[in-house]
Every structure is written in structure tokens, then in C-alpha cells.
Structure 1
Amino acid sequence: WTLAEAGLKATVALVILLAAGRLLLRPLYRVIAGTGNAELFIAATLLVVLGTAWGTALAGLPMALGAFLAGLMLAGTEYRHQIEADIRPVRGVLLGLFFISIGMLVDVGVVLPLLHWILLVAVALIAVKALLILGLC
């Protein structure tokens, strides 16, 4: 029964987040667009992403799912192109932080004994990719 409860809880949380996004995002961005302030667009977008991620975490769901849902909700607004243009300069920093945080999750104690296999597979994949590219050209 706990699996059904968890599924119901997740479904309710997702429906609440999506409904709140549908109802609040358009009016919020309409007000922000009226100010003409690009920094406010960036701040509001980051607030929406972090708030949605926090909401999914409260429901026991992955924060990445919340960030994904925020992206879907923001893409559904008429301000998606403006949001994308304003976020573009910050994107590189956010991508760097993402990959650093993923790298920090790697357990070096598990990776080191398998390092020779990891390097062998990486070199093999690069070689196969190079052969495919050369074959297609």
C-alpha cells in the first residue's frame, strides 16, 4: 500500500506544481515584462526553477524533476524567447556548476580500481565515433 500512497503523493504534487505554474507564470512574466528589466527576468526564472525543484523535493521526488517541470512550464509561456535570451549569458556558469556537482558525486574509491577499463572503453568509443564520422564523410 505504501507504493500506491507514494504514487498518489507524487501525482498530487506534480498536478499542484503544474497547475500553479499554469495559473501564476503568465501573469508573473507579464508584470516582469512591463518593467523591461532583464535582471528581473533572470531572477524570476531562477526563482521558478529553484522553487519547483524545492516543491518536488518536499514531495519526495528528485529535484531534477522539478527543474525539468519548470523548464516545461516556462517553455509554455509566450515569454520563452525572452527568457532564453536573458538566461543565455548565465547558462555557461550553470552548466559548469551542474557538471562540477555531478563530478563531486563520483566515488573515487569505486572508480580507481576500474580506471583502466574506463579508459579502454572511452578510447574505444572515441575510435568508433571517429570511424563512423570518417565513413559518413
Structure 2
Amino acid sequence: MLYTLAWLLCFFIIIVIIVIVFYQLICSADLEFDYINPYDSASWINKVILPEFIIQGVLCLLYLVTGHWMMFILAVPYLYYNMRLYARKQHIVDVTEIFNQLNQAKMQWIFNIGHFCSLLFITLFWNIYDALEEDER
């Protein structure tokens, strides 16, 4: 029962991260199609970057505490990358450089979505597996 709850919590945390990354991607698309100005787009994106990093850190910590070592190993390189961006102060979208950084940032967000979708499917598999295993006992 405890493992199933841990997997469910991880599942919902990953869903939240995917929603945040989609939000960043939508803000960049709105900027690209000139629906919003660069200042608003940069401020909206910058508001969700730090919560995304914190939630991802909580996810890695949850994997570590619950003993899901393989999932922790899959999630920790991207956490390290985000920590490195934060330490170098490269995580903030600059209003004056947003158009120059837009293509690179969009590719990064698409990679994030792919990474977290793969974690989501693996988490969903293990959640179903643990639930079925508990029913057999």
C-alpha cells in the first residue's frame, strides 16, 4: 500500500512539472506569434522556473527516500543540470535577449516534456505493477 501511494504521489508531481513546462512553452509560442509583449512573457516564464526546480528536487528526494533507485538515477542528471543553471544564474529568461534565446529555450522545454513524459510512463507502469502485486497478496 505504501509503495502504491508513493508511486501515485510521484505520478501527480510529474504531472505538475509537465503542466509547468507546457505553460512555459505556450508563453514562448504566444511571444513568437506576437500575442504578448516580451516583458510579460519573460515575467510569466520566470515566475514558474524556480517552482519547477523545487518540485523536481522534491521528486528526486521522494525517489531517494522511497528507495526507487532506478527512477532516482534517471531523474538526477536533469536535476543537476537545473542546479548548474541556477548556480550560474542562467535560468532566468532575460527580457532584452528573449528573442535570441527563444529557439534554444523552446528546444530545452520540448526536451523537458519528453524527459518527464518518459518518467511519467515508467511511473505509471510501476504504479500499476505494485497495485496488481498487492492484490495478489
Which TM-score applies when normalising by structure 1? Answer: 0.33
Structure of greater Rg: 1
Task: Tell which has more relative contact order, 1 or 2 (C-alpha 8 A, sep 6+).
Answer: 2
